[in-house]
Amino acid sequence: MTSNEDRAPFVTRPSATQTLPLFSAKHAREDFPALAQQINGQPLTYLDSGATALKPQRVIDAVAAIYARDCANVHRGVHTLSQRATAAFEGARDNVQRFLGAGSRQEIILLRGTTEAVNLVASSYGSTLGPGDEVLITGLEHHSNIVPWQLVCERTGAKLVVVPITDSGEVLLEDFRARLTERTKVTAFAHVSNALGTVLPVEEMTRAAHDAGAVVLIDGAQSAPHIAVDVSEIGCDFYAFSGHKLYGPTGIGVLYGRRALLEAMPPYQGGGDMIDRVTFEQTTYNDLPYKFEAGTPNITGAVGLGAAIEYLEELGPTGIEAHERAVLEYATDALADIQGVHVIGEAPSKVAVISFVMDAAHANDIGEILDQHGVAIRTGHHCAQPVMDRFGVPATARLSLGLYNTRDDIDALLRGLHAVKKFFA
Protein backbone atom coordinates (compact mmCIF):
# COMPACT_ATOMS: atom_id res chain seq x y z
CA MET A 1 0.00 0.00 0.00
CA THR A 2 1.27 3.48 -0.84
CA SER A 3 2.53 5.40 2.17
CA ASN A 4 1.32 8.88 3.04
CA GLU A 5 4.63 10.50 2.08
CA ASP A 6 5.06 8.62 -1.22
CA ARG A 7 1.77 9.68 -2.75
CA ALA A 8 0.61 12.99 -4.16
CA PRO A 9 -1.35 14.93 -1.53
CA PHE A 10 -4.53 15.09 -3.59
CA VAL A 11 -5.90 13.21 -6.57
CA THR A 12 -8.59 14.03 -9.06
CA ARG A 13 -11.72 11.99 -9.61
CA PRO A 14 -11.11 9.43 -12.37
CA SER A 15 -12.51 10.55 -15.71
CA ALA A 16 -15.12 8.58 -17.61
CA THR A 17 -12.44 7.36 -20.02
CA GLN A 18 -10.25 5.85 -17.32
CA THR A 19 -10.54 2.13 -16.59
CA LEU A 20 -10.94 1.42 -12.90
CA PRO A 21 -9.91 -1.94 -11.40
CA LEU A 22 -12.72 -4.24 -10.36
CA PHE A 23 -13.60 -3.65 -6.73
CA SER A 24 -12.47 -6.42 -4.39
CA ALA A 25 -13.76 -6.36 -0.83
CA LYS A 26 -11.26 -9.09 0.05
CA HIS A 27 -8.35 -6.86 -0.94
CA ALA A 28 -9.93 -3.73 0.55
CA ARG A 29 -10.25 -5.45 3.93
CA GLU A 30 -6.46 -5.50 4.14
CA ASP A 31 -6.53 -1.68 4.28
CA PHE A 32 -8.47 -1.68 7.58
CA PRO A 33 -6.24 -2.63 10.53
CA ALA A 34 -9.20 -2.95 12.94
CA LEU A 35 -10.38 -6.02 11.03
CA ALA A 36 -7.21 -7.93 11.95
CA GLN A 37 -8.25 -8.30 15.60
CA GLN A 38 -10.24 -10.91 17.47
CA ILE A 39 -13.17 -10.20 19.77
CA ASN A 40 -13.92 -12.78 22.46
CA GLY A 41 -11.72 -15.25 20.65
CA GLN A 42 -13.46 -14.79 17.30
CA PRO A 43 -12.41 -12.78 14.21
CA LEU A 44 -14.12 -9.39 14.28
CA THR A 45 -17.26 -9.19 12.15
CA TYR A 46 -18.02 -5.49 11.98
CA LEU A 47 -21.61 -4.72 10.95
CA ASP A 48 -21.99 -1.28 12.55
CA SER A 49 -20.73 1.07 9.83
CA GLY A 50 -23.97 3.07 9.99
CA ALA A 51 -22.87 4.27 13.43
CA THR A 52 -19.27 4.80 12.40
CA ALA A 53 -17.18 3.21 9.67
CA LEU A 54 -13.78 1.67 10.26
CA LYS A 55 -10.78 3.67 9.04
CA PRO A 56 -8.37 2.60 6.29
CA GLN A 57 -4.65 2.94 6.89
CA ARG A 58 -4.62 5.78 4.34
CA VAL A 59 -6.74 7.92 6.64
CA ILE A 60 -4.83 6.94 9.78
CA ASP A 61 -1.55 7.87 8.09
CA ALA A 62 -2.91 11.21 6.86
CA VAL A 63 -4.03 12.22 10.36
CA ALA A 64 -0.75 11.06 11.93
CA ALA A 65 1.29 12.98 9.34
CA ILE A 66 -0.32 16.29 10.28
CA TYR A 67 0.47 15.79 13.97
CA ALA A 68 3.98 14.46 13.28
CA ARG A 69 5.07 16.90 10.57
CA ASP A 70 2.72 19.84 10.07
CA CYS A 71 1.20 20.46 13.50
CA ALA A 72 0.25 24.11 13.15
CA ASN A 73 -2.84 26.26 12.97
CA VAL A 74 -4.28 27.12 9.59
CA HIS A 75 -4.92 30.45 7.84
CA ARG A 76 -3.04 32.48 10.45
CA GLY A 77 0.65 31.82 10.10
CA VAL A 78 3.32 32.79 7.60
CA HIS A 79 5.71 30.06 8.73
CA THR A 80 6.20 26.85 6.76
CA LEU A 81 4.29 24.47 9.01
CA SER A 82 1.22 26.71 9.01
CA GLN A 83 1.39 27.09 5.25
CA ARG A 84 1.60 23.33 4.75
CA ALA A 85 -1.25 22.66 7.19
CA THR A 86 -3.38 25.27 5.45
CA ALA A 87 -2.69 23.74 2.04
CA ALA A 88 -3.70 20.30 3.31
CA PHE A 89 -6.83 21.65 5.02
CA GLU A 90 -7.98 23.62 1.98
CA GLY A 91 -7.07 20.71 -0.29
CA ALA A 92 -9.52 18.61 1.68
CA ARG A 93 -12.21 21.21 0.97
CA ASP A 94 -11.46 20.84 -2.74
CA ASN A 95 -11.84 17.07 -2.40
CA VAL A 96 -15.24 17.51 -0.79
CA GLN A 97 -16.34 19.94 -3.51
CA ARG A 98 -15.43 17.39 -6.15
CA PHE A 99 -17.03 14.53 -4.20
CA LEU A 100 -20.36 16.38 -3.97
CA GLY A 101 -20.30 17.96 -7.41
CA ALA A 102 -20.65 21.44 -5.90
CA GLY A 103 -20.18 24.41 -8.18
CA SER A 104 -17.84 26.35 -5.88
CA ARG A 105 -15.49 25.63 -2.99
CA GLN A 106 -17.06 28.63 -1.23
CA GLU A 107 -20.19 26.45 -0.86
CA ILE A 108 -18.37 23.85 1.26
CA ILE A 109 -18.48 24.53 5.01
CA LEU A 110 -16.33 22.27 7.20
CA LEU A 111 -17.98 21.56 10.55
CA ARG A 112 -18.13 18.87 13.25
CA GLY A 113 -20.68 16.66 11.50
CA THR A 114 -24.20 16.34 10.09
CA THR A 115 -25.75 17.36 13.39
CA GLU A 116 -23.92 20.69 13.50
CA ALA A 117 -24.68 21.29 9.82
CA VAL A 118 -28.43 20.88 10.40
CA ASN A 119 -28.23 23.08 13.49
CA LEU A 120 -26.39 25.74 11.51
CA VAL A 121 -29.13 25.89 8.87
CA ALA A 122 -31.90 25.71 11.45
CA SER A 123 -30.38 28.49 13.56
CA SER A 124 -29.25 30.75 10.73
CA TYR A 125 -31.71 30.28 7.88
CA GLY A 126 -34.40 29.40 10.42
CA SER A 127 -34.21 32.95 11.78
CA THR A 128 -36.19 34.02 8.69
CA LEU A 129 -39.23 31.99 9.80
CA GLY A 130 -42.21 33.43 11.61
CA PRO A 131 -45.69 32.58 12.90
CA GLY A 132 -47.71 30.68 10.31
CA ASP A 133 -44.68 29.39 8.42
CA GLU A 134 -44.16 25.63 8.18
CA VAL A 135 -41.17 23.30 8.26
CA LEU A 136 -41.82 19.98 6.53
CA ILE A 137 -39.91 16.84 7.56
CA THR A 138 -40.63 13.11 7.28
CA GLY A 139 -41.37 10.37 9.77
CA LEU A 140 -38.06 8.69 8.91
CA GLU A 141 -35.80 11.39 10.33
CA HIS A 142 -32.90 11.03 12.74
CA HIS A 143 -33.32 13.05 15.93
CA SER A 144 -30.74 15.53 14.65
CA ASN A 145 -33.11 16.45 11.81
CA ILE A 146 -36.10 16.75 14.14
CA VAL A 147 -35.02 18.50 17.33
CA PRO A 148 -33.28 21.53 15.70
CA TRP A 149 -36.47 22.28 13.76
CA GLN A 150 -38.59 21.87 16.89
CA LEU A 151 -36.37 24.43 18.61
CA VAL A 152 -36.74 26.82 15.66
CA CYS A 153 -40.51 26.42 15.68
CA GLU A 154 -40.68 27.08 19.41
CA ARG A 155 -38.59 30.21 18.96
CA THR A 156 -40.31 31.63 15.87
CA GLY A 157 -43.89 30.40 16.08
CA ALA A 158 -43.52 28.30 12.93
CA LYS A 159 -45.17 24.88 12.70
CA LEU A 160 -43.51 21.48 12.22
CA VAL A 161 -45.33 19.24 9.72
CA VAL A 162 -44.47 15.55 9.32
CA VAL A 163 -44.95 13.35 6.26
CA PRO A 164 -45.97 9.84 7.43
CA ILE A 165 -44.16 6.65 6.46
CA THR A 166 -45.81 3.52 5.09
CA ASP A 167 -45.85 0.00 6.52
CA SER A 168 -42.86 -0.82 4.29
CA GLY A 169 -40.89 2.15 5.64
CA GLU A 170 -41.25 4.44 2.63
CA VAL A 171 -42.06 8.11 2.19
CA LEU A 172 -44.45 8.33 -0.74
CA LEU A 173 -43.96 11.26 -3.07
CA GLU A 174 -47.70 11.93 -3.23
CA ASP A 175 -47.85 12.17 0.58
CA PHE A 176 -44.95 14.62 0.54
CA ARG A 177 -46.57 16.77 -2.16
CA ALA A 178 -49.90 16.74 -0.34
CA ARG A 179 -48.33 18.47 2.67
CA LEU A 180 -46.57 21.19 0.73
CA THR A 181 -48.43 24.50 0.94
CA GLU A 182 -47.70 28.15 0.39
CA ARG A 183 -46.79 28.25 4.09
CA THR A 184 -43.98 25.69 3.67
CA LYS A 185 -40.70 27.58 3.88
CA VAL A 186 -38.25 24.75 4.66
CA THR A 187 -38.22 21.05 3.85
CA ALA A 188 -35.65 18.82 5.57
CA PHE A 189 -35.35 15.10 4.92
CA ALA A 190 -32.89 12.24 4.87
CA HIS A 191 -31.46 10.87 1.66
CA VAL A 192 -31.25 7.44 3.34
CA SER A 193 -32.92 6.42 6.60
CA ASN A 194 -30.39 5.54 9.26
CA ALA A 195 -32.85 3.20 10.99
CA LEU A 196 -34.26 1.34 7.97
CA GLY A 197 -31.98 1.99 5.00
CA THR A 198 -34.83 3.40 2.90
CA VAL A 199 -33.68 5.55 -0.02
CA LEU A 200 -35.91 8.59 -0.47
CA PRO A 201 -36.68 10.04 -3.93
CA VAL A 202 -34.72 13.20 -3.15
CA GLU A 203 -34.59 14.67 -6.65
CA GLU A 204 -38.37 14.51 -7.07
CA MET A 205 -38.93 15.78 -3.52
CA THR A 206 -36.54 18.68 -4.16
CA ARG A 207 -38.36 19.69 -7.34
CA ALA A 208 -41.72 19.53 -5.58
CA ALA A 209 -40.45 21.63 -2.66
CA HIS A 210 -38.97 24.25 -4.99
CA ASP A 211 -42.22 24.40 -6.93
CA ALA A 212 -43.90 25.26 -3.63
CA GLY A 213 -41.31 27.94 -2.90
CA ALA A 214 -39.52 26.07 -0.09
CA VAL A 215 -35.78 25.54 0.42
CA VAL A 216 -34.45 21.99 0.75
CA LEU A 217 -31.99 20.54 3.26
CA ILE A 218 -30.94 16.92 2.81
CA ASP A 219 -29.37 14.82 5.56
CA GLY A 220 -26.81 12.78 3.65
CA ALA A 221 -25.12 11.10 6.62
CA GLN A 222 -26.19 7.61 5.52
CA SER A 223 -26.15 8.20 1.76
CA ALA A 224 -22.70 9.70 1.16
CA PRO A 225 -20.88 6.43 2.02
CA HIS A 226 -23.09 4.33 -0.27
CA ILE A 227 -24.54 6.41 -3.12
CA ALA A 228 -22.83 8.70 -5.62
CA VAL A 229 -24.03 12.18 -4.66
CA ASP A 230 -24.21 15.15 -7.04
CA VAL A 231 -25.82 18.16 -5.40
CA SER A 232 -26.07 19.92 -8.77
CA GLU A 233 -28.17 17.07 -10.15
CA ILE A 234 -30.30 16.81 -7.02
CA GLY A 235 -30.80 20.57 -7.01
CA CYS A 236 -30.99 20.88 -3.22
CA ASP A 237 -30.16 24.05 -1.33
CA PHE A 238 -28.27 22.34 1.51
CA TYR A 239 -26.67 18.91 1.87
CA ALA A 240 -24.94 17.59 4.99
CA PHE A 241 -22.84 14.54 5.78
CA SER A 242 -20.40 13.27 8.42
CA GLY A 243 -16.81 12.21 7.86
CA HIS A 244 -16.76 9.31 10.31
CA LYS A 245 -19.42 7.39 8.38
CA LEU A 246 -17.40 7.92 5.18
CA TYR A 247 -14.30 6.12 6.53
CA GLY A 248 -12.89 9.42 7.78
CA PRO A 249 -12.21 10.71 11.31
CA THR A 250 -14.80 11.60 13.90
CA GLY A 251 -15.58 15.23 14.65
CA ILE A 252 -15.58 16.40 11.03
CA GLY A 253 -18.48 16.96 8.68
CA VAL A 254 -19.68 19.02 5.77
CA LEU A 255 -22.44 21.42 4.92
CA TYR A 256 -22.93 22.21 1.26
CA GLY A 257 -25.01 25.32 0.84
CA ARG A 258 -26.14 27.22 -2.22
CA ARG A 259 -23.91 30.28 -2.35
CA ALA A 260 -26.65 32.90 -2.59
CA LEU A 261 -28.36 31.50 0.49
CA LEU A 262 -25.15 31.26 2.51
CA GLU A 263 -24.23 34.84 1.69
CA ALA A 264 -27.63 36.06 2.89
CA MET A 265 -27.62 34.03 6.10
CA PRO A 266 -26.31 35.49 9.38
CA PRO A 267 -23.31 33.80 11.03
CA TYR A 268 -23.93 30.75 13.18
CA GLN A 269 -21.13 31.36 15.71
CA GLY A 270 -18.76 34.21 16.45
CA GLY A 271 -15.00 34.09 16.86
CA GLY A 272 -11.71 33.79 15.03
CA ASP A 273 -11.60 33.25 11.25
CA MET A 274 -15.25 34.18 10.66
CA ILE A 275 -14.48 37.88 11.03
CA ASP A 276 -13.25 40.51 8.61
CA ARG A 277 -12.79 43.38 11.06
CA VAL A 278 -13.77 43.77 14.70
CA THR A 279 -14.29 46.99 16.66
CA PHE A 280 -16.31 47.49 19.82
CA GLU A 281 -18.90 49.29 17.75
CA GLN A 282 -19.27 46.85 14.87
CA THR A 283 -17.97 43.61 13.35
CA THR A 284 -17.90 42.74 9.69
CA TYR A 285 -17.70 39.12 8.56
CA ASN A 286 -15.32 37.10 6.46
CA ASP A 287 -16.13 35.80 2.99
CA LEU A 288 -17.52 32.34 2.38
CA PRO A 289 -16.84 29.67 3.46
CA TYR A 290 -15.03 31.10 6.49
CA LYS A 291 -18.03 33.14 7.59
CA PHE A 292 -19.43 29.92 9.09
CA GLU A 293 -16.17 28.44 10.41
CA ALA A 294 -15.54 30.19 13.72
CA GLY A 295 -12.46 29.22 15.70
CA THR A 296 -9.72 26.70 15.05
CA PRO A 297 -11.23 23.99 12.83
CA ASN A 298 -10.72 20.25 13.08
CA ILE A 299 -7.63 20.36 10.88
CA THR A 300 -6.66 16.71 11.17
CA GLY A 301 -10.27 15.65 10.75
CA ALA A 302 -10.57 17.58 7.51
CA VAL A 303 -7.31 16.18 6.16
CA GLY A 304 -8.42 12.67 7.13
CA LEU A 305 -11.75 13.21 5.37
CA GLY A 306 -9.93 14.37 2.26
CA ALA A 307 -7.83 11.20 2.37
CA ALA A 308 -10.95 9.06 2.80
CA ILE A 309 -12.49 10.64 -0.30
CA GLU A 310 -9.34 9.95 -2.30
CA TYR A 311 -9.39 6.36 -1.10
CA LEU A 312 -13.01 5.84 -2.17
CA GLU A 313 -12.40 7.44 -5.55
CA GLU A 314 -9.47 5.15 -6.19
CA LEU A 315 -11.47 2.04 -5.26
CA GLY A 316 -14.30 3.09 -7.57
CA PRO A 317 -17.75 4.11 -6.24
CA THR A 318 -19.64 2.07 -8.84
CA GLY A 319 -17.92 -1.15 -7.83
CA ILE A 320 -18.47 -0.44 -4.15
CA GLU A 321 -22.18 0.17 -4.71
CA ALA A 322 -22.61 -3.06 -6.65
CA HIS A 323 -20.74 -5.06 -4.03
CA GLU A 324 -22.72 -3.62 -1.11
CA ARG A 325 -25.99 -4.22 -2.95
CA ALA A 326 -25.11 -7.89 -3.45
CA VAL A 327 -24.21 -8.36 0.23
CA LEU A 328 -27.41 -6.57 1.31
CA GLU A 329 -29.52 -8.85 -0.88
CA TYR A 330 -27.76 -11.92 0.50
CA ALA A 331 -28.37 -10.76 4.08
CA THR A 332 -32.02 -9.91 3.40
CA ASP A 333 -32.73 -13.33 1.92
CA ALA A 334 -30.85 -15.12 4.70
CA LEU A 335 -32.69 -13.33 7.52
CA ALA A 336 -36.03 -14.09 5.85
CA ASP A 337 -35.26 -17.80 6.22
CA ILE A 338 -34.83 -17.64 10.01
CA GLN A 339 -38.07 -18.36 11.83
CA GLY A 340 -38.85 -15.74 14.43
CA VAL A 341 -36.82 -12.97 12.78
CA HIS A 342 -38.81 -10.03 11.41
CA VAL A 343 -37.28 -7.29 9.25
CA ILE A 344 -38.57 -3.79 10.03
CA GLY A 345 -38.82 -1.65 6.90
CA GLU A 346 -38.89 -3.47 3.58
CA ALA A 347 -38.90 -0.60 1.10
CA PRO A 348 -38.01 -1.68 -2.44
CA SER A 349 -35.23 0.93 -2.57
CA LYS A 350 -32.75 0.37 0.26
CA VAL A 351 -29.02 0.51 0.90
CA ALA A 352 -26.64 -0.87 3.49
CA VAL A 353 -29.03 -1.25 6.47
CA ILE A 354 -31.34 -3.95 7.81
CA SER A 355 -33.27 -3.48 11.04
CA PHE A 356 -34.88 -6.53 12.59
CA VAL A 357 -36.45 -7.94 15.73
CA MET A 358 -36.61 -11.49 17.07
CA ASP A 359 -39.50 -13.19 18.84
CA ALA A 360 -37.08 -14.88 21.21
CA ALA A 361 -35.04 -11.94 22.49
CA HIS A 362 -34.88 -8.19 23.03
CA ALA A 363 -32.59 -6.29 20.68
CA ASN A 364 -30.05 -5.57 23.44
CA ASP A 365 -29.83 -9.27 24.30
CA ILE A 366 -29.25 -10.04 20.63
CA GLY A 367 -26.40 -7.54 20.52
CA GLU A 368 -24.73 -8.88 23.67
CA ILE A 369 -24.80 -12.51 22.54
CA LEU A 370 -23.58 -11.60 19.05
CA ASP A 371 -20.67 -9.74 20.63
CA GLN A 372 -19.64 -12.96 22.37
CA HIS A 373 -19.31 -14.42 18.86
CA GLY A 374 -17.25 -11.46 17.61
CA VAL A 375 -20.15 -9.85 15.71
CA ALA A 376 -20.67 -6.09 16.18
CA ILE A 377 -24.13 -4.69 15.40
CA ARG A 378 -26.11 -1.73 16.72
CA THR A 379 -29.13 -2.14 18.99
CA GLY A 380 -31.62 0.40 20.30
CA HIS A 381 -33.77 3.12 18.79
CA HIS A 382 -30.93 4.44 16.58
CA CYS A 383 -31.78 8.09 17.41
CA ALA A 384 -35.03 7.54 15.50
CA GLN A 385 -37.61 7.00 18.23
CA PRO A 386 -40.54 8.13 16.04
CA VAL A 387 -39.64 5.31 13.62
CA MET A 388 -39.71 2.79 16.46
CA ASP A 389 -43.07 4.18 17.60
CA ARG A 390 -44.44 3.89 14.06
CA PHE A 391 -43.68 0.16 14.00
CA GLY A 392 -44.63 -0.48 17.61
CA VAL A 393 -41.22 -1.71 18.78
CA PRO A 394 -39.00 -0.31 21.54
CA ALA A 395 -35.81 -1.08 19.65
CA THR A 396 -34.36 -3.04 16.76
CA ALA A 397 -31.14 -4.86 16.01
CA ARG A 398 -29.47 -3.16 13.06
CA LEU A 399 -26.77 -4.44 10.77
CA SER A 400 -25.18 -1.81 8.58
CA LEU A 401 -22.67 -2.54 5.86
CA GLY A 402 -19.39 -1.05 4.77
CA LEU A 403 -17.34 -1.67 1.67
CA TYR A 404 -15.29 -4.26 3.60
CA ASN A 405 -18.23 -6.55 4.42
CA THR A 406 -18.67 -9.85 2.60
CA ARG A 407 -21.04 -12.80 2.64
CA ASP A 408 -18.73 -14.39 5.21
CA ASP A 409 -19.71 -11.59 7.61
CA ILE A 410 -23.38 -12.33 7.05
CA ASP A 411 -22.74 -16.03 7.66
CA ALA A 412 -21.06 -15.13 10.96
CA LEU A 413 -24.12 -13.06 11.86
CA LEU A 414 -26.42 -15.96 11.06
CA ARG A 415 -24.42 -18.33 13.25
CA GLY A 416 -24.69 -15.79 16.05
CA LEU A 417 -28.45 -15.46 15.62
CA HIS A 418 -28.86 -19.22 15.83
CA ALA A 419 -26.92 -19.05 19.08
CA VAL A 420 -29.38 -16.41 20.31
CA LYS A 421 -32.31 -18.67 19.49
CA LYS A 422 -30.63 -21.60 21.22
CA PHE A 423 -29.88 -19.54 24.34
CA PHE A 424 -33.49 -18.41 24.71
CA ALA A 425 -35.12 -21.67 23.63
List, in sequence order, the alpha helices (H) in 222-298.
231-234, 259-264
Does residue 30 sit within a domain? no
Share of the chain above pLDDT 70, in %: 95
Question: Is 16 inside a domain boundary?
Answer: no
Last residue in a domain, options 277, 312, 347: 312
Return the pLDDT at 21. 56
pLDDT at 5 over 80: no
Residue 104 in domain:
yes
Q: Is residue 323 part of a domain?
A: yes
Query: Per-residue pLDDT for 420 more than 90?
Result: yes
Per residue in 9-47, pLDDT (tens digit) is 323 333 333 444 589 999 999 999 999 999 999 999 999
Q: Is residue 74 part of a domain?
A: no
Residues 155 and 274 in one domain: yes
Do 223 and 303 belong together in one domain? yes
Query: In this predicted structure, what is the pLDDT of residue 76?
Result: 81
**Same domain membership, residue 383 and residue 361:** yes
One domain, residues 178 and 223 = yes
Catalytic residue among 71, 153, 236, 383: 383
Average pLDDT over residues 364-391: 98
Query: For 378-395, what is the mean pLDDT?
Result: 97
Per-residue pLDDT of 41-53, as tens digits, reads 999 999 999 999 9
Whether residue 379 has pLDDT greater than 50? yes
Task: Supply the pLDDT for residue 103.
Answer: 96
Total number of domains constituting the chain: 2
Spell out the long-range contacts of 383-387 with Cβ–Cβ below 8 A and sequence spacing 24 or more. Answer: 383/142, 383/143, 383/144, 383/194, 384/140, 384/141, 384/142, 384/143, 384/193, 384/194, 384/195, 385/143, 386/139, 386/141, 386/146, 386/162, 387/139, 387/140, 387/165, 387/169, 387/193, 387/195, 387/196
pLDDT of residue 312: 97
Co-location of 193 and 134 in the same domain: yes
Residues 334 and 237 reside in one and the same domain: no
Residue 383 annotated among the catalytic residues of the structure: yes
- Provide the pLDDT confidence category of residue 242 given band limits of 50, 70 and 90: very high
- The pLDDT of residue 275 is 87
Residue 94 lies in a domain: yes
- Which residues on adjacent β-strands are paired with residue 420? none
| Confidence bin at 256 (pLDDT 50/70/90) | very high
| The domain boundary residue, chosen from 282, 297, 312 | 312
In a domain, 42, yes or no: no
State the CATH number of the domain containing residue 267: 3.40.640.10
Q: Which domain holds residue 132?
A: 80-312
What is the C-alpha to C-alpha distance for residues 107 and 257, in angstroms, rounded to an integer?
5
Is pLDDT above 70 for 1?
A: no
Mean pLDDT of 382-401: 97
Tell me what the pLDDT averaged over the chain comes to: 94
Question: Do 85 and 205 reside in the same domain of the chain?
Answer: yes
Same domain assignment for residues 280 and 333? no
Give dist(CA 379, CA 48) in Å, integer.
Answer: 10
Residue 267 sits in the same domain as residue 394: no
Q: Is the residue at 183 inside a domain?
A: yes
Average pLDDT over residues 225-248: 98
Same-domain check for residues 95 and 210 = yes
Full-model pTM: 0.93
Note whether 343 and 215 are same-domain residues: no
In a shared domain, residues 222 and 123? yes
Say which CATH number the domain at 383 has: 3.90.1150.10
Domain end residue (candidates: 262, 288, 312): 312
